[in-house]
Chain A
Amino acid sequence: MGDKADVWQGTLALMVLRTLDTLGPLHGYGIARRIEQTSENLLSVNYGTLYPALLKLEQEGYIASEWGVSDNKRKAKYYKLTRAGRKQLEREIQGWGQATAIVARFLAPKEQSS
């Protein structure tokens, strides 16, 4: 576990929104697993921080929740993206793209001075 990176502050919300966008309604455990899988197990989600984050997104109206039944007939709380959440996701993706582009420019190979 030691060489796995923790989820950076602020990116967890983006990952949750993206996960719900691609997979549709999902319970908390499913979201956590999906994030780990997508990162090819390079990221370790601290499940303890996931639930407060889900609550925050729900309070902000980006996701909604309801009780449902899981594949193996277990009662679970399912989260799904709202319309506002979809918009927010677009905004965050855009912002993220900009941020990485800027960082990438800084990290680009040095130009030879003539």
Chain B
Amino acid sequence: MRKLRAWFLRLAGLLGKERRDREMTEELESHLQMHIEDNLQRGMTPEAARRDALIKLGGIESTKERYRDRRGLRGLETLLQDMRYGVRMLRKNPVFTAVAVITLALGIGANTAIFSLLDSVVLRFLPVENPQQLVQITRRGPEPGNEGNPTFTNPIWEQVRDQQDVFSGALAFGGQQFDLAQGGEAHYAKGLWVSGDFFRTLGIHAAAGRLITVADDRRGCSGVAVLSYSFWQDHFGGAASALSSRISLDNHTYPIIGVSAPGFYGVEVGAKFDVALPFCATAVFDGARPRLDHRSWWWLSIVGRLKRGIGPAQLRARLELISPRVFAATVPANWDIANQKNYQKWVLTSAPVSTGTSGLRQQFERPLQILMGVVGIVLLIACANIAGLMLARAATRQREMAVRRAVGASRLRLIRQLLTECLLLSTAGALLGILFARWGSVLLVHFISTARDQVYLDLSFDWRVLAFTAAISILTAVLFGVLPAFRSTRVSLTSAMKGSPAIDPERHARFRPRRWIVASQVALSLVLLVGAGLFLRSFVKLMTLDLGFDRENVLMMHTEARTAGIPPEKWMATWDEIERRLNSLPAVVSVGRSLITPVSGGEWDQYVQADSPNPPSGTTSDVYLNGISPGYFQSLRIALLAGRDFTRQDTATSPKIAVINQTMARKFYPNLNPVGRTFRLSGDQGKYGDPIQIVGVVRDSKYASLREDGFSCAYFPITQEPGFGGGPNFLIRTSVRPSALLSLIQSTVAGVDKSLSLQFDTLARQVDDSLVQERVLATLSAFFAGLALLLATVGLYGAISYTVTLRQSELGVRMALGADPGSILRLVLRDVVIILVAGMAVGTGITLLSVQVLQSLLFGLPARDVLTLALAAGVISLVAFIAGYLPARRAAKVDPMIALRYE
């Protein structure tokens, strides 16, 4: 306590310095006078009296200095002094300062940007009450690999809610997109279905009105809506009148009862909801087969708040205990016996959820970690550049250092001064870097958003990001500052004062650390270039992959019969009429429609029993399914290999038929002609449905993802799948740019039914969007590798130019003695080659050791791909050689007379 008080007073001692100095002088003065008077009384002469008093005091100035030391905080005072001096030195060299600050800002900015993304996607806690108490329920099946699945059906949720005894509250939620428009082009809002306890369990308060409670979530409810704060601001301008109005979602209107707290965007990171509705309101949307009772409609996530004192072991034990009961009560009746048995072996598991649930995280956690490593390396290379610059500057400040040493500054004191300058540089770089990072991270989020998945992240800098930035800026200062500081304070006083001799062996030696710095830059650049090369080549492979369909010039149009109020019996006729009218448009080549579009994220799969000898069974008999109209294959240009396509004569009442793909033909009917054969789909109670006859075989095409390879797929006439006919996707092949036809198509559809709302996309963009992770990695790693290469090149150029300058007189002597320019060139280039070879060797080693971590993100090539490594090495060699050649040529061209007169 006393110590703290003293420390505080010393801190205050930094202020009001002059008055205190004066008081101190007065006190010492009065002391001296008293002493002198005493001495006089004892009979000393005035001179002796004064001399004795001064000796006993031990020198006025040194006493004062000791007094000052005690009064203020010496370290802080020195620091302030160093900083003032540092600022002055940096301002004297504006070019050096600007280059260093911008280089650092790029490096630190890139790190901060990626880290702030990592922070908001992976690290940040949800803005709810005690997020660390939240756990997400997942499930694990008996077969290997089937674990951590977080989606559930409503019957399971109700069982969990009623049976669990480890949570003080449990909640469930699911998402759905709603159309706000009533006809015309669709305007979508992100809907969030919430269980009654959702807001209460999370501890979210209302910003206005009230939130959904258990009382709002009763079967048969008419439904109420809670808006998110940002939606309220954007669509209602934050007006209180919104609370007494109604909101139309897919043509159903709901009273708005309240607005949730600002800053709360839901439990899923990367997504935000616009409007929340209670579970019971789903009934209105679902019609005959409501999801509330559906036992294989997997649409919700479950989160619980742990009771106090429940540990992970207890939680696991309790969940395992209730699992058999939960699953036994919710067995899907339409599954076959084997799968029903399997289902009952499932076990509830859990995962921590304090930082939110997220598909975005699953998708981007690893890429972000890799990018974090990449920008870390970029920062290292930037540090190396600045260290190189500092070393060069050290040579010019040699005299200054020597003078300061000569007048008594200790070496430690000089090192401290130099490190303070470094800290100033890195702080300036960090401040500018934070600005860069602000722009950069917004750009990045934009980059990972797709038309289908708008990514929303809270990117406000929290303490973690700021602490990170502060830490790396200090670290960089140490990295680029320590070596130059030690080097440049090691001065030989005499030679520095004399002005250095023409050839100074000491100086030449000073070049050596710089050479190693540049070599390490080359090595690190190689690592980044190889990484970027791997991602780029994977991406290009995916982009140029044979998809089995032609993605260009296909416009996709989605519509919903239910929101337009079209009765089911009129669906087929309406869609057929739209197809017919669109087909007659001049720029339309063909029109087809399907339940599921390629690589859209939608999937429909079922087990299949083929009428061939020893057909695949169980999970190996899983087949992707789709319902299509006769124009589908034509619109996507999927080639028919055998049999026939569907026609208008294949209707709901005609015999059930299917077209299958090559893989299915090969797998289910080996060495047989599948056309004319039949298969059955798994149905209720483990029985198989009616036989479906195969009428044709088409080429394989990608269904769910571009990375998939050889999945079986069967297509049915869309007319024979009436249950799914309410929301078709039209695929329109056009002879012109698809976007040019939008208004024409809209008016054509309106001619059939004005109340249909339409959503447009192109197939090409849908394919592109499915590669967002690959594109982000390829683009960013290429960008950063380019930056790294640029920095390393500048570093190499600087280092070689510097040696050439240092050796100018030596080279002049050589030339005067008859060395030809060619040999001078070779002499200088030898340095370049040594740097390159050393850098490449180390870089190749690091690459081979580290690149394996990228394997899971690559497509179609091994991580240790020789071609990529060779290409990267080639690029670096070429660029580095040019960077070294320019100063070397300058050296060879120099006039020996000028070189000799130099200095």
Given contacts A51-B27, A61-B2, contact A56 B34 (CB under 8 A): no
Q: Main secondary structure on chain A at its contact with chain B?
A: helix
- Give the size category of A's interface with B: 20 to 34
Q: Which of B474-517 contact A (CB under 8 A)?
A: none
Q: Nearest Cβ in chain B — how far from A18, in angstroms?
A: 19
Q: How far is the CA of A47 from the CA of B31 in the complex (A)?
A: 9
The answer to whether B57 and A47 touch across the interface, beta carbons within 8 angstroms, is yes
The answer to whether B63 and A72 touch across the interface, beta carbons within 8 angstroms, is no
Partner of B35 from the list A29, A48, A56, A77 (CB cut-off 8 Å) is A29
The answer to whether A60 and B6 touch across the interface, beta carbons within 8 angstroms, is yes
Chain B residues positioned under 8 Å from A30 (CB to CB):
34
Q: Nearest Cβ in chain A — how far from B10, in angstroms?
A: 7
Q: Which of A16-39 contact B (CB under 8 A)?
A: 27-30, 33
Q: B-facing mask of A46-84, CB < 8 A → 1, else 0? A: 111101100110011100000000101011110000000
Q: How far is the CA of A56 from the CA of B23 in the complex (A)?
A: 16
The answer to whether A61 and B69 touch across the interface, beta carbons within 8 angstroms, is no
Q: Nearest Cβ in chain A — how far from B305, in angstroms?
A: 50
The answer to whether B67 and A51 touch across the interface, beta carbons within 8 angstroms, is yes
Q: A-facing mask of B66-85, CB < 8 A → 1, else 0? A: 11011100000000000000
Given contacts A51-B27, A60-B5, A61-B5, contact A74 B34 (CB under 8 A): yes
Q: Which residue of chain B is the closest to A51 with respect to CB atoms? A: B67
Q: Which residue of chain A is the closest to B8 with respect to CB atoms? A: A59
Given contacts A59-B9, A75-B26, contact A52 B69 (CB under 8 A): yes
The answer to whether A51 and B28 touch across the interface, beta carbons within 8 angstroms, is yes
Q: Which residue of chain A is the closest to B56 with respect to CB atoms? A: A47
Interface size counted on chain B using CB atoms at 8 A: 29
Partner of A29 from the list B10, B24, B31, B59 (CB cut-off 8 Å) is B31
Extra contacts, 15 of them, besides A52-B70, A75-B26 (Cβ < 8 A), are A30-B34, A33-B38, A47-B31, A48-B57, A48-B63, A49-B66, A51-B24, A51-B66, A52-B66, A55-B67, A60-B6, A74-B33, A76-B30, A76-B34, A77-B26
Q: Nearest Cβ in chain B — how far from A71, in angstroms?
A: 9
Partner of B30 from the list A33, A60, A75 (CB cut-off 8 Å) is A75
The answer to whether A56 and B70 touch across the interface, beta carbons within 8 angstroms, is yes
B336 in the interface, Cβ–Cβ < 8 Å? no
Q: Can you pick out 8 interface pairs between chain A and chain B where the beta carbons lie within 8 Å of each other?
A: A28-B31, A33-B38, A47-B57, A49-B58, A51-B28, A59-B6, A74-B33, A74-B34
Chain B residues positioned under 8 Å from A77 (CB to CB):
23, 26-27, 30
Partner of A48 from the list B23, B30, B66 (CB cut-off 8 Å) is B66
Chain B residues positioned under 8 Å from A51 (CB to CB):
24, 27-28, 63, 66-67
Q: How far is the CA of A28 from the CA of B69 in the complex (A)?
A: 18
Q: Nearest Cβ in chain B — how far from A66, in angstroms?
A: 11
Q: How far is the CA of A32 from the CA of B36 in the complex (A)?
A: 14
The answer to whether B34 and A46 touch across the interface, beta carbons within 8 angstroms, is no
Chain A residues positioned under 8 Å from B62 (CB to CB):
48
Q: Nearest Cβ in chain A — how far from B6, in angstroms?
A: 4
Q: A-facing mask of B6-50, CB < 8 A → 1, else 0? A: 100110000000000001101110110111011000000000000
Q: How far is the CA of A66 from the CA of B9 in the complex (A)?
A: 17
Q: Which residue of chain A is the closest to B70 with respect to CB atoms? A: A52
Chain A residues positioned under 8 Å from B59 (CB to CB):
48
Q: How far is the CA of A56 from the CA of B10 in the complex (A)?
A: 10
Q: Main secondary structure on chain B at its contact with chain A?
A: helix
Q: A-facing mask of B183-208, CB < 8 A → 1, else 0? A: 00000000000000000000000000
Q: Which residue of chain B is the closest to A75 with respect to CB atoms? A: B30
Q: Which residue of chain A is the closest to B53 with respect to CB atoms? A: A47
Chain A residues positioned under 8 Å from B58 (CB to CB):
46-49
Q: Nearest Cβ in chain A — how far from B48, in angstroms?
A: 15
Q: Which 10 A-B pairs have the closest CB atoms?
A: A48-B58, A59-B6, A52-B70, A48-B63, A29-B34, A47-B57, A59-B9, A29-B31, A76-B30, A60-B2
Q: Which residue of chain B is the closest to A45 with respect to CB atoms? A: B56
Q: Which of B739-781 contact A (CB under 8 A)?
A: none
Quick one: which of B5, B31, B57, B71 has the most chain A CB within 10 A?
Answer: B31
Q: How far is the CA of A7 from the CA of B783 in the complex (A)?
A: 69
Q: How far is the CA of A77 from the CA of B28 in the complex (A)?
A: 10
Q: Which residue of chain A is the closest to B54 with respect to CB atoms? A: A47
Chain A residues positioned under 8 Å from B27 (CB to CB):
28, 51, 76-77
Chain B residues positioned under 8 Å from A27 (CB to CB):
30-31, 34
Q: How far is the CA of A56 from the CA of B67 in the complex (A)?
A: 9
Q: How far is the CA of A61 from the CA of B9 in the complex (A)?
A: 10
The answer to whether A70 and B9 touch across the interface, beta carbons within 8 angstroms, is no
Q: How far is the CA of A71 from the CA of B71 in the complex (A)?
A: 28
Chain A residues positioned under 8 Å from B67 (CB to CB):
51-52, 55
Q: A-facing mask of B278-305, CB < 8 A → 1, else 0? A: 0000000000000000000000000000
Chain A residues positioned under 8 Å from B69 (CB to CB):
52
Chain A residues positioned under 8 Å from B2 (CB to CB):
60-61
Q: B-facing mask of A88-109, CB < 8 A → 1, else 0? A: 0000000000000000000000
Quick one: which of B2, B38, B59 has the most chain A CB within 10 A?
Answer: B2
Chain A residues positioned under 8 Å from B28 (CB to CB):
51
Q: How far is the CA of A33 from the CA of B5 in the complex (A)?
A: 30
The answer to whether B6 and A72 touch across the interface, beta carbons within 8 angstroms, is no
Q: How far is the CA of A105 from the CA of B225 in the complex (A)?
A: 87
Q: Nearest Cβ in chain A — how far from B77, in angstroms?
A: 15
Q: How far is the CA of A37 from the CA of B30 in the complex (A)?
A: 20
Q: How far is the CA of A53 from the CA of B838 in the complex (A)?
A: 59
Chain A residues positioned under 8 Å from B38 (CB to CB):
33
Q: Nearest Cβ in chain A — how far from B76, in angstroms?
A: 15
Q: Which residue of chain A is the closest to B38 with respect to CB atoms? A: A33
Q: Which residue of chain A is the closest to B37 with respect to CB atoms? A: A72
Q: How far is the CA of A48 from the CA of B24 in the complex (A)?
A: 12
Q: How far is the CA of A30 from the CA of B56 in the complex (A)?
A: 14
Given contacts A47-B56, A60-B2, A61-B2, contact A55 B30 (CB under 8 A): no
Q: Which residue of chain A is the closest to B58 with respect to CB atoms? A: A48
Chain A residues positioned under 8 Å from B9 (CB to CB):
59
Q: Nearest Cβ in chain A — how far from B725, in angstroms?
A: 87
Q: How far is the CA of A91 from the CA of B347 in the complex (A)?
A: 68
Q: Which residue of chain A is the closest to B13 with respect to CB atoms? A: A59
Q: How far is the CA of A69 from the CA of B27 in the complex (A)?
A: 12
Q: How far is the CA of A59 from the CA of B67 in the complex (A)?
A: 12
Q: How far is the CA of A47 from the CA of B28 in the complex (A)?
A: 10
Q: Nearest Cβ in chain A — how far from B664, in angstroms?
A: 88
Chain A residues positioned under 8 Å from B70 (CB to CB):
52, 55-56, 59
Chain B residues positioned under 8 Å from A52 (CB to CB):
66-67, 69-70
Q: How far is the CA of A49 from the CA of B64 in the complex (A)?
A: 10
Q: Nearest Cβ in chain A — how far from B2, in angstroms?
A: 5
Q: How far is the CA of A68 from the CA of B26 in the complex (A)?
A: 12
Chain A residues positioned under 8 Å from B71 (CB to CB):
55
Chain B residues positioned under 8 Å from A33 (CB to CB):
38
Chain A residues positioned under 8 Å from B23 (CB to CB):
77
Q: Which residue of chain B is the closest to A71 with respect to CB atoms? A: B34
Q: Nearest Cβ in chain B — how far from A9, in angstroms?
A: 15
Chain A residues positioned under 8 Å from B56 (CB to CB):
46-47
The answer to whether B34 and A59 touch across the interface, beta carbons within 8 angstroms, is no
Q: Nearest Cβ in chain A — how far from B115, in angstroms?
A: 42
Partner of A59 from the list B10, B26, B33 (CB cut-off 8 Å) is B10
